[in-house]
Amino acid sequence: MMRRNVLNKVALLLLCALAGVTGCSKDPDIFGSDVITEDVAFIVPRGWPAPVYNFQNNTLSNAGFELGRKLFYDTRLSRDNSTSCGSCHQAFAAFAHLDHNVSHGIENRLGTRNSPPLFNLNWHPSFFWDGGVNHIESQPINPIQNPVEMDETLQNVVAKVRNDAVYRNMFRNAFGDETVNSQRIFKAMAQFMGMMVSANAKYDKYVRGEPGGAMTPSELSGLQIFRAKCESCHKEPLFSDFSFRNNGLPTTSVNDSGRAHITRDAADLYKFKVASLRNLKYSYPYMHDGRFTTLSQVLDYYTSSNHNAAPIDTAIGTTGIPLSEQDKVDLLSFLNTLNDEAFVKDKRFHEIQ
Ligand code: HEC
Ligand code: HEC
């Protein structure tokens, strides 16, 4: 019965959002508790495009969401029971890995890429810096099996979860019976991760004309500069068009080929998925390998002409993006309006202590 209610609510909210009906939009509250007291509902923020994934074939429910949360924070998903998804995707870092340039997996094994922040995933047509995975429900296979991340087999994960009576009960609540299989594990995790919507930054309030959205002259000037010089890739309101572009970053000893690693097409050399610019305050360091610690370094890079050997995107050009010192100050103030404190503090997404 509860699941039916949730379904109706989700369907209604989706309809509202897609139709752009203003009266339907509900400002998501900051939940003060990690106990889920009201039905979880996926709300498409007003004015946003339709998501790629909207829980079709994966009925959203409180029980499914809570199961997904438990799995996300469970270190038993790794071979030596040391590392959970939440180890590299930390709530207070907008689900990136704070202060780590490249990922640290079990036994301190190092990866070559920076943990991206996790939010608004339902709008991503593909995942990872190179778009190597294209479905949110199959995405967790990769970190679980990756030798430098969790280094575990799906079979073992399923066995560990199945052996736990608390889990079996949660599977019954979420899916109607106690069957534990990888498909259900991934569906529950998709419910948890897909619910992570970040749409309550000052910028969002400004766009929606809500209280708290008044921008300063510097922020407004930054928005103008942003729209002229960054928007063609970092498209509003998600601040990414999710395309793969070569923004010119000089190669390092790792020589990460980016999108070309997947397509094997030389034309995709050094192209990476355009990163969202939301929540940058929490998710440093920046870029696919975490090479920049501060946003000033990022802007200094964009104005430089120090580039890799592949053709740089024409939206940047070989001489870099011209920005005056004042432009940089204003851009930084604008980027600061994209930090969504309500999202990082939303206890629904935190580990239950
Ligand atoms: C050892 C650190 C580590 C662990 C553990 C880890 N991740 Fe990640 N995660 C990363 C890195 C690094 C990337 C980027 C990989 C790439 O681009 O090749 C990533 C990428 C992702 C993405 C894609 C985000 C995007 O913007 O494309 C999602 C979703 C994700 N992880 C979820 C999970 C889940 C779910 C788990 C647990 C099953 C998990 N991660 C475990 C480090 C980690
Ligand atoms: C040609 C498309 C393009 C343009 C124009 C562009 N960017 Fe980017 N941006 C990217 C790509 C692609 C990445 C990811 C690159 C990587 O990690 O290798 C990125 C990454 C970033 C990051 C790092 C985000 C993170 O979480 O790691 C910031 C910050 C950033 N861009 C800011 C800007 C600003 C500010 C402008 C305008 C001055 C701008 N970008 C213009 C394509 C672009």
Neighbours of 242 (CB within 10 A): 17
* Percentage above 70 pLDDT, the chain: 90
Q: What is the dihedral of CA 48, 54, 60, 62, to 10 degrees?
A: -30
How many CA atoms does the CB half-sphere of 27 hold within 13 Å?
A: 12
Query: Would you say the CB of residue 89 lies under 6 angstroms from ligand 1?
Result: yes
Cβ atoms of 72 and 85 closer than 8 Å: yes
- Whether residue 258 is predicted with pLDDT greater than 70 in this model: the reply is yes
Measured in Å, residue 226 CA sits from the centre of ligand 1 at 28
Give residue 7's identity as a one-letter amino acid code: L
Q: Which two tokens stand for residue 212?
A: 């708290």
Q: Is 152 in the pocket of ligand 1 (CB under 6 A)?
A: no
**What is the distance in A from the centroid of ligand 2 to the CA of 248?**
10
Mean pLDDT over the full length of the chain: 91
Confidence of residue 353 (pLDDT cuts 50, 70, 90): confident
Name which of 323, 266, 273 is nearest 298 in CA terms: 323
Average pLDDT over every residue of 311-340: 97
- Report which protein residue has its CA nearest ligand 1's atom 16: 128
Q: In the predicted model, what is the mean pLDDT of residues 300-306?
A: 97
Q: Are the C-beta atoms of residues 344 and 282 closer than 8 Å to each other?
A: yes
pLDDT band at 9 (very low <50, low <70, confident <90, very high): very low
Residue-wise pLDDT for 182-221, tens only, equals 999 999 999 999 999 999 999 999 999 999 999 999 999 9
CA distance linking residue 114 with residue 317, whole number of Å: 25
The predicted pLDDT at position 34 comes to 60
Angle at CA of residue 105, ends 99 and 111, nearest 5°: 75
d(CA 192, ligand 2 centre) in Å:
27
pLDDT digits (tens, 9 = 90+) for 154-181: 999 999 999 999 999 999 999 999 999 9
Question: Tens of pLDDT along 18-53?
Answer: 433 333 333 343 344 566 767 899 999 999 999 999
Mind listing the pLDDT tens digit for each residue in 265-299? 999 999 999 999 999 999 999 999 999 999 999 99
Mean pLDDT of 120-127: 98
Amino acid type, 33:
S
CB 289 within 8 A of CB 116: no
Nearest to 277 by CA among 89, 116, 134: 116
Residue at token pair 């407004």: 220
Instruction: Ligand 2: list residues with CB < 6 Å.
Output: 229-230, 232-234, 245, 247, 249, 272, 274-275, 277, 280, 283, 286-288, 295, 298, 302, 313, 315-316, 321, 331
Distant-in-sequence, close-in-space partners of 202: CB < 8 Å, separation ≥ 6: 212, 213, 215, 219, 337, 338, 339
- Residue 338: band (very low, low, confident or very high) from pLDDT cuts 50, 70, 90: very high
pLDDT at 108: 87
Closest ligand by atom to 115 CA: 1
Q: How far is the CA of 259 from the centre of ligand 2 (A)?
A: 15
